[in-house]
Amino acid sequence: MEKDRFNTINMNLPSGRVIYKVGFSEDVADDHIRHICNLKNVIWECAEDKTEESIKENKRLMKEYPFLIPRKRENGEILDGEDYSCTMLDPMPKGWKKAFGEDICREIKAFLFEENMLEGYWVKQIKEKFGSLRWYDNDCSRHAKLKQIKSKYVELSEHTCVMCGAEGTMRGNLRWISPFCDECYEELIEWNPYMIRKSNV
């Protein structure tokens, strides 16, 4: 029996390079790597896919929510050569963006405005991990109200389909844990059956 190989692939997302490590046997690894690359465009809307219309939308978002402007994580300095190709909201799965992406921004902005903190606040990273929302900022989580807002949307994300934004269920039998509605889940499995994690039994 051939020994499993450990494969790595690189994906360039707006938040930076992401490395996925895939530990499948050789006969399925190449197919799975191609699948992951395709899935990137199904769940995430990436910078390279931006159209003139989406650039315009990015300008609106950055003007309305300045904490979505891409910055250096360590000091909040705005990156040189900003071309509106992406915002810090981009790595959020498109289903979540559709369902509550701007809602969480609106609530956080209202809190920051009320506390006179809007100018000094920035987002370091927004992403999905283990099927729930992760929202990292410049250490403002010490404020109970802000923590409450983020916790509310973390809980909501766990019941919202990452692909379409409808009510979803956390799927634990896939190669990773994420919430999907029934329709998107069936479509995903039909598209690539390797997404089903084999039982160890």
DSSP 45-67: --GGG--HHHHHHHHHHHHH-GG
- The answer to whether residue 15 sits within a structural domain is yes
- Total domains in the fold of the chain: 1
Average pLDDT, the chain: 76
Percentage of the chain surpassing pLDDT 90?
47
* The token pair that represents 23 in the structure block: 């530990």
In this predicted structure, the answer to whether residue 187 has a pLDDT above a threshold of 70 is yes
- The answer to whether residue 199 sits within a structural domain is no
- The answer to whether residue 39 sits within a structural domain is yes
Amino acid 2: pLDDT:
34
Q: What is the band of 192 on the pLDDT scale with cuts at 50, 70, 90?
A: low
- The answer to whether residue 33 sits within a structural domain is yes
pLDDT in tens, 109-161: 999 999 999 998 999 999 999 999 999 998 766 789 999 999 999 999 999 99
- The answer to whether residue 98 sits within a structural domain is no
Half-sphere exposure of 139 (CA within 13 A, CB side): 4
- The answer to whether residue 82 sits within a structural domain is no
- The answer to whether residue 27 sits within a structural domain is yes
What's the average model confidence in pLDDT over 33-54?
A: 55
- The answer to whether residue 12 sits within a structural domain is yes
Domain membership of residue 32 as a residue range: 1-43
